[in-house]
Structure 1
Amino acid sequence: MKESMSSVDIAAIVIELQELLGARFVKAYQPGREEIRLKLHHKGSLDLIIEAGKKIHLTKYKRASPRMPSNFAMYLRKHLSGARIAQIRQLDFDRIVEITIERWDKKLRLIVELLPRGNIVVVDEDGIILLPLRRKSFASRVIKVGELYERPPSRADPLTMSEHDLMNLCKQDKDIASVLASELSFGGLYAEEVCAKAGIEKRRRAGELTATEINAIHEAIHTLFEPIITDDKSKLKAHIVMEGEEEIDFVPFELSSYENREKRFFPSLNDAADEYFSTQIAEVVEEQAKSEHDTVVGKYERILNEQLEARHKFELKEAESTKKGEMIYVHYLELEEMLQEPGKKKKVVTLTLPDTDISLEIDTSVSLHKNAGAYYDKAKVFRKKREGVEHAIEMTKEKIRTEKEKEVRIEEELIPTKKEVRTEKVEWYEKFRWFETTDGFLVVGGKDATTNEILAKKYMEPNDLFFHTQAEGAPVVIAKSGGKEISKSGLKEIAQFAASYSNLWNYGFYEGECYCVMGEQVSKTPPSGEYIKKGSFMVRGKRNYFKAELGLCIGIEKPFFQKESVTKERSYKETHRLVACPSSQKDKLDIFVEFEPGDDMDKNALSNEIRRFFVDRAENKEEVKRIATQEKILSLLPPGKSRIKGFS
């Protein structure tokens, strides 16, 4: 999984950030130790996120701002307030971005180092450091106030390099992929892509390449990075690369290395990077909350183990003392004879009974009866200690049960939330996949592990119906029945909806099995000693199974009326929504495409085809473009490839 931006990502991002030229600086925040957020105004409000050593991009997500601004944020507010962005550029092909900011009284530069151990530095026109985010010292440079800013040692720029310079660079006894990755700052991914485009085996020794092969590499570099070399952002095809439900990378254009991976396309690399890193932040916050929860449980479990060991020790000592007291009475005469032997006149003697390994400590100043009583008294002491520990064990077990039943507490304000300006009311279920059965029951399905978790925890009632398949990666589907009976045809529709969004579709099945239980049968509490991963649940009790044919429709609803204002005089407007539903529901759609599992088209191609079909047949094409965006259509498609079955 990618943790920071590459030189290629930065080059593409900087092309897109040219739209910020002329933007006015409004405010600065420092939400993290290495991160700042610049609030800008340019044809509306914009937020630019910069994290030293990691990323720079515009964001549509909002995060809680610190109650007290940091010294660095206060400095930026004081010296940049009202200033405008005059220039944004990448320094050569390095992971360094320079933002020039001008105000009537000064001209400053914000230097953003996105390489490991990077920094964010404010310098004046002469390059003197006014304030760094962090004071740092390196072998070749020092980052502190008053020093002349010196950038890290630079490498060759592959985008401006001549074929002759590339030939000289290749005079090394290393494989060509390593040379391109390290010497030209491509990294392994793009170095291998260049080799593949040039038709050169990546393990070939660079010094053994012919002039023709070096020419092929030079041409491959210019072909692959043409959108960056020509500053043409229209040629970028930004997308996030998926591995199952996990986002593993984001790239500015398609690469052969990810040819067979599922992809989510975005209008810009800024959008893709924003989605990718914001998802990472949410996952980190959730993991930290889970770790803190597990730490509390683990503490009590360690205490319980210590208490169980103590109980076992007291049980052994109690049994031993009782047995020794009994042995005194069993061997009473023998012990009296042994005490009469020479050398047994000490106050306390240790005697070992014949044919046993039991040693008894006998106080010769009192009778054997009193010695036996002393052992019985010891047994009572150990028994009381054991009983005390057993009480403590029950209390600790109760604490463990209580902690495990608690939900993991997540600091919601730490999770980025998307800033959306909506002109229409959006119902809660529209954040998920949904439809209404023929008999009018609302059915809502999750899109991934996170939405599965939210749907089951927040919106499922005990008397709702819970649908799921045994296939891994299946969505949670709930029917908001409110305890009312759903017809057989309605249950069949819900089962088809649940089965179609499971991995059964990805595996190419045309039919699958789905089960149904009451909401009260579903729990996040695992059996003792077990763990339930995110998005999964425990289902207890009887299940009802259904056979379901796989198949879906995506379409635009027939018009319905939605309240537009909350004034005394009610006004309404005609509204359309993009929905996905079982094939039997297509009569409710104004226009639709019906599809089934197949090998014809992947999700990206299918979403383009569906959108083109809707726009071509629409009277109000601009309205349909707004409703049926490619991103919305992609979110409604099942996993894997599909075949169009029909349309209307």
Structure 2
Amino acid sequence: MSFDGLFTHAMVHELNATLAGGRIMKIHQPYPNEIFLVIRANRQNYPVLLSAHPSFARAQISRIKYSNPTTAPNFAMMLRKHLEGAQLLAVEQIENDRIIKFSTTGRNELGDEEKTSLYLEMMGRHSNLFLVDEASQKIIDLIKHVPADQNRVRSLMPGGQYIMPPKQDVINPYQSLNGLANLILDYPEIPELAKQIQQHFQGFARDSALELANVLYQDGDSMQAAHAWFAHFDQPAPQLITTEKGLNYAPFDWLTLPGQRVAYSTLSEMLDSYFEEKSERDRVQQQASIVIRAVRNELKKNQTKIKKFYQELAMADNADDFKVKGELLTTYMHMVERGMTEIELPNYYDDNKPLKISLSNQIGPSQNAQKYFTRYNKLKTSIKFINEQMALAEKEVAYFENLMAQIEIASPKDIEEIRQELIQEGYMRVQTKKKQKTQVSAPEKFYATDGTLIEVGKNNLQNERLSMKTAAKSDIWLHTKNMPGSHVIIHDSDPSEATLLEGAKLAAYFSKGRDSANVPVDYLPVRRLRKPNGSKPGFVIFEGQSTVAVTPDFSLVQQLRQNKPAPQSAAKEL
């Protein structure tokens, strides 16, 4: 479903129950549109994500790791000034809209009590996060400054009065369901009823309205079914659902989303699993723009080279034509006169059929013949050089296609390692004068159903270290066949068939074949890997591999992320 007013209602209920009365200990702004508040409540630290992202705006407790910028943005500094150490009084929803209010109380620099609020408005591209003084309702600061000439309805700049977005003439369903019974009678078709529910009640996205319409038509006592349906949002049973159209989420059993379901204990945990890939891709795109541009430029440059080489080889295939023309000019030299631009001579290589030959009127007959022989010799000798250069260009294309595939599956922290690799290989310049030693992050850890540790490298530096340094020689190495992907290590010399298949599915998922139905995966012991001298990071050769075909499965990836190590696996890791 969508993160509409109804889902906001459920999330606010969860956040308030968990966080109210807690204290804001730390404030971070790792990304331009997102804030993390570390709130200490009930003897636990909760990282609370407040996102004003145009596509992924939401509020939740998020355990997804992030990296802070070296210098905190101005908005984060302002939040620290007013909120660090403050107590969170309550988390509230404004009516049934996509607006959440975080009320806080603390002390200012003079020791006086200061009450402030954070208003998170989740309105698509108009999403924003406001820090507001409760006494005056003045905007202290906001995460997106919008000049007056871009928004004439209300002030979206520091110092302006905080005014709620324009209100629609709709009913809050948690205050009243007046009119719903009449809508059911007046609109017997589900699509039309859903449309009317959206127009009549507050906080309904299209998918939520369709869901309620289906529930009402399946239950004989419609109003009782409606009250029960709304009550589910206060006691959700979160689940991710894999449908034919892809992955979706719901706060409880959702009739209009049939498919494979994975249950979660909280809405926040469910959203972490759902948004981990989507928001990570967006964050990667934000942070990796320079890296992506460098990789694309190198890829395009080498693809252009290969295209040019093919054209030159095609010309070389016609080299014999130049030789024939040179020999005909030599044979019939007496027929060629200086100043001619072309001549037609009998081709004794082709039953004396006439062959038209272009000539330069600036040189004599002998020089024209020699010119054709020169072109013939040049093309013939160039073939070896062209093939060598084409092979190099094809290796470069494979390398950069592999990097693009890695960027597709990378997390934000992986981008810096890809950047360092490009600098080491001479494709990018060092941004700072001070030379920094590359710190290679650890591969991602998964645990098979039987508890066996499986590690997945996300970039070439991780792959290199994982496969050639940290893995035991008897461990099993996996990689997609003939396509870019991650190095996967099963830390077991004799894994079960089920574990081997799970490792293969991880290799398929973290590869360019992620969206394919049948992905071949090679596997063999690490001892059979070889790294050629002078080869690029992450490049290995091998022989004697076995191959298994698998289908990537996101739900399995999530399950293996949550699995716990077996006792013997944990001991081995230590």
TM-score, length-scaled by structure 2: 0.66
Q: Point out where structure 2 has 5 or more consecutive residues left out of the alignment.
A: 107-111, 347-352, 416-442, 480-487, 506-520, 532-539, 549-554, 565-574
CA distance in 1: counterparts of 2:23 and 2:211, whole angstroms: 39
Encode CA deviations 1:291-340: one digit per residue, 9 max, x unaligned. Answer: 7797367325413333324413652675444332211123334x15xx4x
CA distance in 2: counterparts of 1:236 and 1:318, whole angstroms: 75
Does 2:158 correspond to 1:159?
A: no
2:406 alignment counterpart? 408
Shift of 1:94: 0.6
1:399 alignment counterpart? 396
Shift of 1:413: 2.8
Q: Secondary structure at the residue paired with 1:73?
A: helix
Q: Secondary structure at the residue paired with 1:236?
A: coil
CA distance in 2: counterparts of 1:385 and 1:496, whole angstroms: 53
1:109-258 correspondence runs (5 A): 109-117=117-125, 118-124=127-133, 125-136=135-146, 137-138=150-151, 140-152=153-165, 153-154=167-168, 155-164=170-179, 167=182, 175-184=192-201, 185-199=203-217, 216-228=221-233, 233=234, 235-243=235-243, 248-258=247-257
CA distance in 2: counterparts of 1:138 and 1:523, whole angstroms: 61
Shift of 1:144: 1.9
Shift of 1:16: 1.6
Shift of 1:272: 2.1
Q: For the Cα contact (< 8 Å) 2:446–2:453, is it kept in 1?
A: no
Q: Secondary structure at the residue paired with 1:237?
A: coil
2:217 aligned partner, one-letter code: G
CA distance in 1: counterparts of 2:268 and 2:363, whole angstroms: 92
CA distance in 1: counterparts of 2:452 and 2:444, whole angstroms: 6
Question: Based on CA coordinates, which of the two structures has the bigger radius of gyration?
Answer: 1
Change (3 A) 1:265 1:501: farther
1:261 alignment counterpart? 260
2:249 aligned partner, one-letter code: F
CA RMSD of aligned residues (A): 4.9
Change (3 A) 1:351 1:179: same
Q: Secondary structure at the residue paired with 1:149?
A: coil
1:111 aligned partner, one-letter code: Y
Encode CA deviations 1:280-301: one digit per residue, 9 max, x unaligned. Answer: 4445568998977973673254
2:324 aligned partner, one-letter code: K
1:480 aligned partner, one-letter code: D
CA distance in 1: counterparts of 2:160 and 2:444, whole angstroms: 57
CA distance in 1: counterparts of 2:154 and 2:123, whole angstroms: 15
**Higher relative strand content:** 1
Encode CA deviations 1:480-534: one digit per residue, 9 max, x unaligned. Answer: 33xxxxxxxxx7x93476579999xxxxxxxxxx99854567999xxxxxxxxxx
1:73-84 correspondence runs (5 A): 73-84=76-87
Change (3 A) 1:520 1:314: same
CA distance in 1: counterparts of 2:527 and 2:284, whole angstroms: 25
Change (3 A) 1:298 1:192: same
Q: For the Cα contact (< 8 Å) 1:307–1:393, is it kept in 2?
A: no
CA distance in 2: counterparts of 1:391 and 1:261, whole angstroms: 51
Change (3 A) 1:542 1:291: same
Shift of 1:101: 1.7
CA distance in 1: counterparts of 2:448 and 2:414, whole angstroms: 26
Encode CA deviations 1:389-409: one digit per residue, 9 max, x unaligned. Answer: 445324323434555677937
Q: Point out where structure 1 has 5 or more consecutive residues left out of the alignment.
A: 202-212, 340-345, 416-427, 436-442, 469-475, 482-490, 504-513, 525-536, 546-602, 604-630, 637-648
Shift of 1:33: 1.6
CA distance in 1: counterparts of 2:3 and 2:560, whole angstroms: 27
Shift of 1:181: 3.6
Identity of aligned residues (%): 17
Q: Secondary structure at the residue paired with 2:67?
A: coil
1:276 alignment counterpart? 274
1:373 alignment counterpart? 370
Change (3 A) 1:311 1:522: same
CA distance in 1: counterparts of 2:370 and 2:397, whole angstroms: 41
CA distance in 2: counterparts of 1:364 and 1:430, whole angstroms: 74
CA distance in 1: counterparts of 2:541 and 2:256, whole angstroms: 38
Q: Secondary structure at the residue paired with 2:372?
A: helix
1:399 aligned partner, one-letter code: E
Does 2:14 correspond to 1:16?
A: yes
1:494 aligned partner, one-letter code: S
CA distance in 2: counterparts of 1:306 and 1:220, whole angstroms: 65
1:296-445 correspondence runs (5 A): 298-312=299-313, 314-315=315-316, 318-333=319-334, 335=335, 339=337, 347-353=339-345, 355-361=353-359, 363=361, 366=364, 368-381=365-378, 389-400=386-397, 403=400, 408=406, 410=410, 413=413, 431-433=446-448, 444=452
TM-score, length-scaled by structure 1: 0.59
1:564 alignment counterpart? none
